[in-house]
Chains A and B, each alone.
Chain A
Amino acid sequence: MKRYITIIKLILPVIAVFLSVATYYGFDDSGKQKSTEYPYYVYLMLFVSGIYFIFAIASIFMKTLRAKIIHKAPLLTGTIIFMAFVNIVTAKTTILPTLYFPSLDRIIGLIYEQKLFLLENVFFSLKLLITGFIWGASIGFLTGLALGYSKKVGYWLNPVTKFIGPIPTTAWIPLALSVFPTTNTANVFLIAFAVWFPVTLMTSSGIQSTNQVHFEVSSTLGASTLYKIIHVAIPSAMPSIFLGVFYGTVSSFATLMAVEMNGNSSGIGWYINWQKQVMMYDGVYAGLIIIAVLCSLILTLLFKVRDRVLVWQKGVIKW
């Protein structure tokens, strides 16, 4: 019995692809949507089934992969059916305004046809994001460390952090754009700022909540102050620091979009805004999909790193 359920589960996505292609060809388009040169929707379906097929074959030999595929197959099925539904709503029946709800053919086609241009924008955004992130995270880590460890530094720096930290990054945009020599440096500053505050806050609170006994243990074992900072305070604050980095990353995404939509001339945020201005909503959706994939990938990567660094922790946030 269990065996049959497994097989059915594995076949489900194939059936879904078949149904979704059948609806694509079975019903006529309403004709209100701009038609595309190629049936991109079908291409995507074929592409997805091709990938699925490769994984399914590989899973015959790999047990862990098999479990994963069986686990994910219903989800994939659901996604395909949802896409078929969206296709019916947007392309076949066009019950929604076609301007704001372009067909999947158009969105997929646009991503495919403009892939190089989109990639360029993705790289531009990534460069900005990473530069800003590195500055923000490293300065945030150092301020957090100083704040958390030294009472004197805390006395002077804490009020400053508490005063300027909560200012939403977007509120800095007008000032930053006028004060910094180039738009790019202003953007880097803004993203860095967005990362800096949560990292500072969480680093300092992590350092402060270091178990006092651990400091005492290391004292009795002959550790110097520097050694205690590096080998006790920082590792013990790591879970908290990662939380800060996580908040910072999320807030850096928001800032990235804000700065790119405000006077930038490339980047994925700029692209979305530009497409909206020229009333090309398929481009807006394409941009959103790319951002979703990108941000999701970055967070996944972040959590992978965290799982590596924090293997010693018991309960952790799931991503």
Chain B
Amino acid sequence: MVGNISIQNVRKEFVNQDSSQENIIALNDFTLDIQPGTFVSLIGPSGCGKSTLLRLISGLERPSSGSIVLDGKEISKPGSDRGFAFQGSNLFPWLTVEQNIAFGLKARHIYKDNKKDVQDFIDLIGLNGFEKSYPHQLSGGMNQRASLARALVGHPKVLLLDEPLGALDAFTRMNLQDEILEIWQNHNMTMIMVTHDVDEAIYMSDKVVVMSARPSKVEAVIDIELPRPRARAQDTFQVYRSQILNILNLGGDIGMIEYQI
């Protein structure tokens, strides 16, 4: 099994161009080991560096110090072994759904040998018949599905999901959660997902990593030991839920997890 990520004492400091303002330390002394094939959710107060952590793993950003190692190799730049599903819909508007999904394969010049994969993923995410449509012709959910397929088609070892379902309505969201889980189970990859939704994190993950406010550290790693497939309305959910909310200091009230720091 591949897809082991080892994050060692990572610090990420954003240097402020305006010298009158202080530099922002997003992550400090952040250590986390992610086993191959696990589904990990990152949860924490808004602005705590969850997305920064994903960007560090993807190689879009470099840590100020510390190291991030994927299967024994230090990550220094973006690569197709780590797929990234970005927040919101960001398909290339000038390409059709099919061309969007094929983008990575074409960029790596392996499209000819893997043409079938594109169609397979279109089938998988249920966008048959929309292959030739442009993103603006699709609904938000379809857009999100297509960008998932685009990130998946190169069979990455790790899939990084940055609030992939944030902008969707509740039903589309639940459907897509199940689809992501199905893909995860069938494709043997490590998934790391940033979310604001505690229920989503519990429903989907093997491990929920609760992060502290900036500069962020690992506050707690909670193993969700529920059998799969999970039911959404399970009593045990409540136990995990209060545990996580308590760590986030939000235990007194339920529901609200987003707050400004």
Contact = CB atoms under 8 A, between A and B. Distances in A.
Interface of A: 211, 213-214, 216-224, 227, 231-232, 235-236, 238, 310-314
Contacts of A221: 80, 103-104, 107-108, 150-151, 154
A217 B86 contact: yes
B14 interface: no
A220 B82 contact: yes
Given A216-B60, A216-B86, A314-B136, A224 B92 contact: no
Contacts of B78: 216, 219-220, 222
A87 to B, nearest CB: 50
6 contacts: A220-B82, A221-B107, A223-B103, A223-B107, A236-B92, A312-B94
Interface in B78-92: 78-80, 82-84, 86, 90, 92
B222 interface: no
B69 interface: no
Interface of B: 58-60, 77-80, 82-84, 86, 90, 92-95, 103-104, 106-108, 134-136, 150-151, 154
Nearest to B136: A314
Interface class of chain B by DSSP:
loop
Nearest to A222: B80
B164 to A, nearest CB: 13
Contact of A238 (B94, B103, B135): B94
Contacts of B135: 312
Given A312-B134, A314-B136, A220 B92 contact: no
A312 B136 contact: yes
A131 B5 CA distance: 58
Given A214-B92, A221-B151, A235-B95, 13 more contacts: A219-B59, A220-B78, A220-B80, A220-B84, A220-B151, A221-B103, A222-B154, A224-B107, A238-B94, A312-B94, A312-B95, A312-B134, A314-B136
Contacts of A311: 134
Interface centre among B83, B93, B136, B154 (most CB of A within 10 A): B93
The 6 A-B pairs of least Cβ separation, nearest first, read A221-B104, A222-B80, A223-B107, A220-B84, A219-B78, A235-B94
A7 B94 CA distance: 43
Contacts of B154: 221-222
A214 B90 contact: yes
A154 B189 CA distance: 43
A218 B103 contact: yes
A276 to B, nearest CB: 48
A238 B95 CA distance: 13
B58 A227 contact: no
A92 B159 CA distance: 82
B136 A217 contact: no
A218 B107 contact: yes
